[in-house]
Amino acid sequence: MAQSFRHSEIIEIARREGKVTVEALADHFGVTLQTIRRDLTDLAEEGKLDRVHGGAVLPSGTINIGYEDRRILNEEGKRAVARTVADHLPDNCSIFLNIGTTTEAVAAALMGHRDIMVVTNNMNVANILSRNESCQVIVTGGALRRSDGGLIGPLTSDVIRQFKFDYAVIGCSALDVEGDILDFDIQEVGVSQTILRQSREVWLVADHTKFQRNAPARIASLSDVNAIYTDRDLPGELPQSCADWSTRVVVCR
């Protein structure tokens, strides 16, 4: 079967079943696992599917994909972003890290930093940085979102208002062509907006898969952050928009 026809049928199966797996598709088409992996990578690059462990799902505009699937989505790109962010963060500073798998990668990259204070509403970030004895870790409290270890709600925002951070490193679920930073949970959005107000420098970490997705709730615009760290060039007119807004774009290889 020609690749173009196989791609169309893969999309139809994903629409019908919600998720496709590499092994099932290889059996269905009578091709190798490697061929299917290439197909899924191509479809993900085109924004038609999101790669997850063992397969792919349709991009969702209203419901986020599962935490474990998000954690392994474009792991290498997230690690590249995290390494660069960590290189740019100095010792002896205060940092806020919010909910997200990319901010968790940043936490792991901060293990060698000294005399830093990290405030977070992400239980996973707190657990990672607990191993850095030269890092003071403060957890905001709030309502626990069991699906990903995030803390959200009014209590979380109230605690954040007690601080003024040197740096905030925040993630998001999606980034649209107009430069709007988007998420799925309106309570998380409120917390993120509080973080922006309480930080001297705000850095968005968003790998290229975020350009291919959509989400319903708006956090802010790229014009509201000091920098975006990503693993590929920004699409469309966004580079010029960022230049107009004086938002620094750092592409991490």
Region of residue 115 (phi > 0: left; psi between -120 and 50: alpha; otherwise: beta): left
Distance (Å, whole) CA 41 – CA 38: 5
- Please report where in the chains the tokens 């802010």 appear, as a residue: 220
Percent pLDDT > 90 in the chain is 75
Which of 143, 151, 174 has the alpha carbon at shortest distance from 65? 174
Pairing of β 199-205 and β 165-170: parallel
Which of 232, 108, 244, 238 has the alpha carbon at shortest distance from 169? 108
- Please report where in the chains the tokens 């599962």 appear, as a residue: 66
- Please report where in the chains the tokens 């397969």 appear, as a residue: 55
Domains along the chain? 3-59 (1.10.10.10), 72-251 (3.40.50.1360)
Percent pLDDT > 70 in the chain is 94
Residue 233 exposed, middle or buried by CB count within 10 Å (0-12, 13-18, 19+): exposed
Q: 63 falls in which pLDDT band (50, 70, 90)?
A: low
Calculate mean pLDDT across residues 185-200: 96
Q: 8 falls in which pLDDT band (50, 70, 90)?
A: confident
Pairing of β 199-205 and β 180-183: unpaired
Residue 23 has pLDDT above 70, yes or no: yes
Q: How far apart are the first and last CA of the chain?
A: 35
The 10s digit of each residue's pLDDT in 93-120 is 999 999 999 999 999 999 999 999 999 9
Q: Tokens in use for 129?
A: 């940085």
Question: Collapsing DSSP states into helix, strand and coil, what is residue 234?
Answer: coil
Q: Are 204 and 172 in contact (CB under 8 A)?
A: yes
Task: Mention every residue, 6+ apart, whose C-beta is less than 8 A from residue 80.
Answer: 231, 252, 253
Calculate mean pLDDT across residues 150-163: 97
Q: Are 222 and 242 in contact (CB under 8 A)?
A: yes
Alpha helices (H) in 73-204, listed in sequence order: 75-88, 101-109, 123-129, 154-160, 186-197
Per-residue confidence (pLDDT) for residue 138, from 0 to 100: 98
Calculate mean pLDDT across residues 130-159: 96
Per-residue confidence (pLDDT) for residue 44, from 0 to 100: 87
Distance of CA 141 to the CA centre of its chain: 21
Q: What is the pTM (predicted TM-score) of this model?
A: 0.79
